[in-house]
């Protein structure tokens, strides 16, 4: 019997059955015996089964991915959608109950409403009892401990007893990343349960709008490498105790504290520090030898006991019982940065007025033992070119002998009534160049809210005249009015025709459409 072979379909059992003429003739013949028919039937069955399997594999390639990839996919879905996948097939059945991370917010267990986004994390819990019951149902179905658990709801305080057990179980099971957000600013804020303080497995901890009542002798948090505290209410000694017990901490973020007035940091492993405060705050670095990156915003603004009328110095006042010493606090903070390589500071106008009200002259440089010997990159942001800010800049330049890059952001908003004084206009004409300016500064970048020569270009001119190895000077500004174009051309010509200390410097001057807020962090 000769069988004709035709690739590629000729290799299939169906071809052998239907395309071979001899078999077709026998199939039509009544003399075909039952064993032969059964053999052909098995061939047909095998072919269709193989084809079905191949089609299913082509349509469901995602199921062949490893568990860790499927876990990542499920973690991006709302909880309801992720849970439904357990009924898709045996392959997907165990995945939801073994998800390494879970993000819980108000909409996670609210009744389904087609008019509301099911993944809206800004909605409120509608049925507290049903919501908590659904949460416990998910937690009870777990087959593996969480690596990351994130909860963001406004009912943490009202259901404190239930959530205490949740955190107790999480910590006992070895959670590594824990995020607790309680965005309910109008009611009592949530007090962090004690099991969190005694957990030895947490590596990353983020707490938002909660109360920290740190136990006197807690033994946990030794593995924490990243600690973020945002809108937290805590006393000075409790915060100091918590930070000092986190021996492994490498990144510390502190934003808008309540109650705290003094932050004392003892963290031998700390590499990065980010602090943002809306009210007076003293920062003291006692023992952080590895600290490399620091970003601090003294973003003080008028609130409660502070008042200000149209940014007028004469109308700004601070209660006598709340007197602060911002100049002393600033110098104490800078004295602890001797090993820092990247420094970014932001100063609000309220901060400047508080500093000016003290009437204390800032030093022209730090103590030699506190010099910022490792500082390579400095970024400063402030409002207009006030004398106080120039003094801070001058002090930092004189205390940073190896500085190679500087970024200055000057916000010249139209709603601020500023008239530069003679002291501010000729400040840099009277300064001697620091060691870093003469021998180390390579890049200088300026982000200006407008293009006005009287208050923006004193320092750039100072650098061009004195920076001997400067390679790049970049000036970005917002061109607010068409009539400023002529002044822009005038300033460009003036800078380009100056007698520059560095023959290789390249000057770039161009407008931008956004202010300095898009400057990349270090």
For 401, the token pair is 């002998």
- The residue assigned the tokens 């300064």 is 431
104 DSSP β-pair partners: 151
For 37, the token pair is 């028919």
Do residues 344 and 375 make contact, with C-beta atoms less than 8 angstroms apart?
A: no
Q: Would you give the distance in Å from CA 11 to the centre of its chain?
A: 59
- Digit-by-digit pLDDT tens for the chain (522 residues) are 444 444 444 444 444 444 444 444 444 454 545 566 566 566 666 766 666 565 555 556 777 788 888 888 888 888 878 888 777 778 888 888 888 888 888 888 877 665 555 455 555 777 778 888 888 888 888 888 889 999 988 776 667 677 788 889 899 999 999 999 887 655 567 889 999 999 999 999 999 999 999 999 888 899 999 999 999 999 999 999 999 999 999 999 999 888 899 999 999 999 999 999 988 889 999 889 999 999 999 988 765 444 433 333 333 344 544 566 888 999 999 999 999 999 999 998 888 888 877 767 789 999 999 999 999 999 999 877 788 888 999 999 999 999 999 999 887 655 556 666 656 778 888 899 999 999 999 999 998 876 555 567 889 999 999 999 999 999 888 766 655 566 667 777 888 888 899 999 999 888 876 654 545 544
Burial group, residue 408, by CB count within 10 angstroms (0-12, 13-18, 19+): buried
Residue 447 has what pLDDT? 87
406 DSSP β-pair partners: 378, 444
Its pTM stands at 0.80
Classify the C-alpha dihedral 194-138-224-232 as positive or negative: negative
The 3-class SS string of 419-461 reads CCCHHHHCCHHHCCCCHHHHHCCCEEEEEECCCCHHHHCHHHH
Q: How many residues does the chain have?
A: 522
Backbone φ and ψ for 177, nearest 5 degrees, come out as: -125, 125
Residue 289 has what pLDDT? 93
Q: Distance of CA 281 to CAs 298, 330, 381, 392, Å?
A: 8, 10, 18, 18
- Asked, as a colleague might, if the bond just before 8 is cis with ω within 30 of 0, I would say yes
Ordered alpha helix ranges (H), 1-118: 13-18, 21-28, 34-59, 67-75, 79-84
233 DSSP β-pair partners: 211, 258
227 DSSP β-pair partners: 205, 252
Long-range contacts of 170-175 (CB under 8 A, 24+ apart): 170/145, 170/146, 170/195, 171/195, 171/196, 171/198, 171/199, 171/201, 171/202, 171/220, 173/145, 173/146, 174/145, 174/201, 175/145, 175/146, 175/147, 175/148, 175/149, 175/199, 175/201, 175/202
379 DSSP β-pair partners: 344, 407
Do residues 505 and 471 make contact, with C-beta atoms less than 8 angstroms apart?
A: yes
How many Cβ atoms are within 10 Å of 278's Cβ, its own excluded?
Answer: 19
Do residues 508 and 473 make contact, with C-beta atoms less than 8 angstroms apart?
A: yes
Residue 458 has what pLDDT? 86
224 DSSP β-pair partners: none
Residue 24 has what pLDDT? 45
Q: Distance of CA 139 to CAs 3, 99, 143, 193, 508, Å?
A: 63, 11, 9, 18, 58
């Amino acid at each position: 019997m000769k069988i004709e072979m035709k690739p590629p379909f000729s290799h299939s059992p169906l071809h052998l059955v239907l395309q071979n003429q001899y078999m077709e003739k026998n199939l039509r013949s009544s003399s075909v015996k039952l064993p032969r028919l059964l053999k052909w039937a098995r061939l047909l069955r095998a072919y269709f089964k193989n084809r079905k399997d191949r089609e299913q594999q082509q349509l469901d390639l995602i199921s062949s991915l490893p568990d860790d990839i499927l876990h990542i996919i499920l973690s991006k879905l709302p909880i309801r959608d992720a849970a439904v996948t357990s009924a898709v097939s045996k392959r997907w059945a165990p995945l939801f109950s073994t998800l390494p991370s879970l993000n819980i917010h108000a909409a996670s267990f609210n009744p389904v409403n087609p008019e509301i986004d099911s993944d809206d994390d800004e909605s409120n819990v509608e049925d507290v009892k049903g919501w908590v019951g659904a949460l416990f149902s998910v937690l009870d179905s777990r087959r593996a401990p969480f690596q990351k658990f994130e909860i963001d709801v406004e009912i943490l305080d009202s259901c404190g007893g239930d959530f205490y057990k949740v955190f107790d179980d999480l910590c006992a099971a070895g959670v590594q990343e824990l995020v607790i957000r309680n965005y309910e600013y109008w009611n009592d804020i949530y007090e962090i349960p004690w099991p969190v303080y005694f957990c030895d497995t947490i590596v990353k901890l983020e707490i938002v709008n909660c109360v920290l009542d740190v136990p006197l002798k807690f033994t946990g948090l030794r593995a924490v490498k990243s600690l973020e505290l945002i809108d937290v209410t805590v006393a000075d000694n409790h915060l100091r105790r918590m930070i000092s017990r986190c021996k492994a901490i490498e990144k510390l973020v502190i934003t808008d504290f309540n109650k705290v007035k003094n932050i004392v940091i003892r963290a031998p492993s700390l590499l990065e520090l980010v602090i943002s405060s809306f009210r007076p705050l003293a920062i003291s670095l006692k023992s952080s030898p590895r600290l490399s990156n620091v970003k601090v915003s003294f973003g003080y603004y008028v609130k409660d006991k502070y008042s200000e009328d149209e940014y007028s110095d004469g109308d700004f006042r601070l209660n006598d019982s709340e007197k602060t010493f911002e100049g002393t606090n600033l110098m104490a903070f800078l004295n602890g940065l001797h090993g820092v390589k990247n420094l970014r500071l932001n100063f609000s106008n309220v901060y400047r007025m508080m500093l000016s009200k003290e009437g204390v002259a800032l030093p022209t440089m730090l103590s030699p033992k506190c010099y910022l010997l490792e500082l390579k990159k400095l970024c400063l942001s402030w409002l207009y070119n006030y004398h106080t800010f120039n003094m801070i800049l001058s002090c930092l330049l004189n205390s940073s002998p190896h500085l190679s890059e500087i970024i200055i952001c000057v916000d010249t908003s139209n709603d601020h009534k500023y008239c530069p004084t003679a002291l501010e206009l000729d400040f840099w004409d009277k300064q001697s160049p620091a060691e870093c300016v003469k021998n180390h500064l390579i890049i200088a970048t300026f982000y200006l809210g407008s293009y006005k020569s009287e208050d923006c270009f004193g320092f750039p001119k100072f650098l061009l005249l004195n920076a001997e190895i400067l390679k790049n000077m970049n000036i970005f500004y917002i061109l607010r009015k068409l009539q400023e174009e002529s002044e822009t051309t005038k300033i460009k010509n003036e800078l380009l025709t100056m007698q520059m200390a560095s023959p290789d410097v390249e000057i770039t001057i161009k407008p931008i459409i956004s202010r300095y807020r898009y400057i990349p962090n270090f």
